[in-house]
Amino acid sequence: MIILFLFSPVIDGVLDPQEGWMAGAGNPDTTAFKGADLDSLYYAASGGTLYLAIKTGNRANWSLSYGFALDVDRTQNSGCTDTVDSWQRRIVFPNEAPDYFLPDYEVYFYWNEDSARITSAGLNKWVGSPDTLWIWNLCPFNYAWSGDTLTGLQVLEFAIPLDTIGNPTKVLVSTWIAGATEGSSAVDALPPAPSIDPFDTAKEWTDTDTSSTYITVNISGIPRVRHEVPLKDGIYNVMGRKAAEGTPGVYFVIEEGKVKKTLLIR
Ligand SMILES: [Ca+2]
Ligand SMILES: [Ca+2]
Ligand SMILES: [Ca+2]
Ligand SMILES: [Ca+2]
């Protein structure tokens, strides 16, 4: 028999691993910034869409900006080489071998503590010409969040159509939390970055940080939304391969030619 597996994240502000998210980076330790604490970064790519999500460890409701850098070409001098980023935060990127991690796009969200919601979201494209450094709010995109007046932003999920960022074969991604206003900088990052000390409350809001660490999302190497796999009775993972016992993931139990149930083994 042929089974079609259909998986892509649901952008609803609820992080459910069964939606097909892959874990990218994490720092579950609590930091000195109780309202600006990242926990984990997730990604997926399917159906021509890049999906990204963060879970925070916030224990307070603070107005903050949540930034994401997307580098689609990993090329020297290609991307943000300014001394501030698209939202004028003091965040710079390493234009150095071997990485040349310079974002060609940034995605930013503003969490407003008064309304306890995301009040601004934008996909910004680096242009880099003398009169136009960035195009802000390139196009609308789908996002959703959860959070409240006690603990601030808890989960943020969003989806970027890959054709809006040039249909790359891989995307390098970093994320951080910065202050509410221009001129602030990051106080936490994923993956953790050496220049950001999430315990230094004296200087981290206003120093200049280098976002030097990133995850690599291989667009072609990620399970696509559609797999046609012939199956016999057994337990299979989302790629349609027989599951190794004890390996975490989403599994299907096939009995008598029918999908009996799905399991998440952690
Ligand atoms: Ca979701
Ligand atoms: Ca943390
Ligand atoms: Ca770049
Ligand atoms: Ca900082």
Q: CATH number for the domain including 84?
A: 2.60.40
210 with 242, same domain? no
Q: How far is the CA of 199 from the centre of ligand 2 (A)?
A: 11
Q: Indicate whether 218 pLDDT > 90.
A: yes
242 with 188, same domain? no
Q: How far is the CA of 80 from the centre of ligand 4 (A)?
A: 18
The answer to whether 187 and 177 are in contact (CB under 8 A) is: yes
What does residue 7 show for φ and ψ, rounded to 5 degrees? -135, 125
Ligand nearest to the CA of 13: 1
Q: How far is the CA of 31 from the centre of ligand 2 (A)?
A: 6
Structural domain total, the chain: 2
Entry field: residues in the chain:
266
Q: List the shell of residues around ion ligand 1, using CB closer than 5 Å.
A: 10, 12, 14
Ligand nearest to the CA of 155: 1
Whole-prediction pTM value? 0.82
Q: 20-38: string of b/e by CB count within 10 Å (b at 16+)?
A: bbbebbbbeeebebebbbb
- The four Cα atoms 98, 91, 124, 16 give a dihedral, to 10 degrees, of 80
Q: How far is the CA of 256 from the centre of ligand 1 (A)?
A: 32
Query: 244-262, pLDDT tens digit by residue?
Result: 545 555 555 555 555 554 5
143 with 244, same domain? no
Residue 189 domain boundaries: 7-218
Q: Alpha-carbon distance 67 to 92, whole Å?
A: 12
Query: 85-138, pLDDT tens digit by residue?
Result: 999 999 999 999 998 999 999 999 999 999 999 999 999 999 999 999 999 999
